[in-house]
Amino acid sequence: MAAVTITAFLLGTIALLILLCTAVLFVEIAAAVTRRDTARPEEGERRPATVLMPAHDEATGIAAAIRSVLPQLADRDRLVVIADNCSDNTAAIAADEGAEVVVRTDLARRGKGYALDLGIRHLESKPPDVVLIVDADCHVSPGTVDRLVRLCCKAQRPVQAIYLMQAGPEAPLNMRIAEFAWLVKNKVRPEGLHRLGLPCQLTGTGMAFPWECLGSAALATGHIVEDLKLGLELARTGAAPLLCPQALVTSNFPASADGIKGQRTRWEHGHLSVILSDAPRLLLEGLRRPTGDLLALALDLCVPPTALLALSVAAIWTSCASLFFLTADAWPLVLASLAALLMAASVLMSWRVYGRHVMTLGTLLLSVVYPLWKIPLYLRFLVARQIDWVRSKRD
């Protein structure tokens, strides 16, 4: 009897934690789909800005990225490409396209954070008011630079654009599902936080910072999700990032299977590592703060990747249902069922309002098997976690 009670307590505790994660997800998505935010952000002064574009072997796509940025720059703005440990002609192409180029060679210290640190040191002699970070494989939609700079000047806080990954109309089923999951993570949830008056996470590109934020930031790290870490550290100093929903940056998923695998491993292993290392401390700090910014970001951070959350919900519901069948102990199953209901409602609301252009309802229903495909990725987190930054293969 004692063993049954302990089992029920453990399953119930796990179900409660998963329920809290699905509740955070549901609140964010419900705010996004039910609250209408048609007002444009208050615009600040258009001060001098510099776009930093870290690039590692981006010869195939950097010209297009530069061409999407240059027409948006004002007279005193700059575009600086950091050609980081490149083995191709990235630097030459960037210079031909009209960018200012800084070359970095340091094979012992690899990663985007080191490249950005060199870029900031390069700007110290004549610092701009605002620094924007744009990846070299991205397209910056017209008007985005101006909107980011003005809002950053107005708020004196970091500002994040909507950053979307696109799979293309001929993409296979798993890529369309991945595009929808990315849409939920980088558009729906941040817009929900924005409409609740709360900050958002940094997503790696399409970011604007007051010079004072980046000038003293510890950028020179090889962390595989340096952007996520940076946003959380800035939030701890009182400069939590804001979303600019009218600004848009897009990129394409890698075409190769190895590229897709490497990209997802880096993102998801990095996210899970930050949850384990930072979330408890951030939650405690957030509870002590008079504003809810840090607590909101900590709770948002605790929501695991969508596929992992779906697997967790399915696993705990099955376990609790088995317990109920054997012992008639119902309360863990009630918690697990609530978590499953919130998870399903969140996905359906996101698809209905935001995702119908990405995939049909039939494809959405087929996506229930998508998390199973990612089980090996999560098992590798337990036995062979990726900790070093590795560029995803594009081709």
Region 184-194: mean pLDDT is 96
260 contacts: CB under 8 Å, gap ≥ 6: 175, 178, 253, 254, 392
Identify which of 371, 323, 249, 353 has the alpha carbon closest to the alpha carbon of residue 12. Answer: 323
> Tokens 């957030």 sit at which residue?
286
Identify which of 8, 31, 134, 27 has the alpha carbon closest to the alpha carbon of residue 81. Answer: 134
Region 161-172: mean pLDDT is 86
Show the DSSP H helices in 137-256 as ranges.
144-155, 173-183, 189-195, 211-215, 226-236
pLDDT at 222 over 90: no
User: How would residue 171 be classed by pLDDT, with cut points 50, 70 and 90?
Assistant: confident
218 contacts: CB under 8 Å, gap ≥ 6: 233
* Length, in residues, of the chain: 395
Cβ-defined contacts of 98-105 (< 8 Å, 24+): 98/66, 98/70, 99/53, 99/66, 99/70
Confidence (pLDDT) at 255: 65
Show the DSSP H helices in 52-105 as ranges.
62-69, 90-96
pLDDT at 37 over 70: no
Confidence (pLDDT) at 260: 63
Region 236-259: mean pLDDT is 86
Please give the Cα distance from 339 to 262 (Å, whole number): 30
Regarding beta strands 130-133 and 49-55, do their DSSP bridges make them parallel or antiparallel, or are they unpaired?
Answer: parallel
**DSSP assignment of 133-162, as one string?**
E--TT-EE-TTHHHHHHHHHHHH-S-EEEE
Contact in structure between 193 and 202 (CB atoms under 8 Å):
no
User: How would residue 354 be classed by pLDDT, with cut points 50, 70 and 90?
Assistant: very high
pLDDT at 342 over 80: yes
Question: E strand or H helix at 54, and its extent?
Answer: strand 49-55
Least confident of 37-46, 311-320, 361-370: 37-46
C-beta neighbour count of 3 within 10 angstroms: 7
65 contacts: CB under 8 Å, gap ≥ 6: 53, 58, 134, 135, 136, 137, 138, 139, 140
Please give the Cα distance from 306 to 105 (Å, whole number): 37
CA angle at 59 for the pair 56 and 62, rounded to the nearest 5°: 85
Least confident of 212-226, 293-307, 320-334: 212-226
Region 256-260: mean pLDDT is 59
pLDDT at 374 over 90: no
> What are the pLDDT digits (tens) for 89-109?
999 999 999 999 999 998 888
Confidence (pLDDT) at 69: 98
> What are the pLDDT digits (tens) for 15-35?
999 999 999 999 999 999 997
CA angle at 177 for the pair 247 and 359, rounded to the nearest 5°: 80
Going from the N-terminus, what domains does the chain have, and what CATH number goes with each?
Answer: 2-36+303-383 (no CATH), 49-285 (3.90.550.10)
Confidence (pLDDT) at 388: 55
CA angle at 52 for the pair 387 and 39, rounded to the nearest 5°: 100
Task: Return the C-alpha torsion angle 225, 228, 231, 235, nearest 10.
Answer: -130
> What are the pLDDT digits (tens) for 106-160?
888 888 889 999 999 999 999 999 999 999 999 999 999 999 999 999 999 999 9
Confidence (pLDDT) at 273: 87
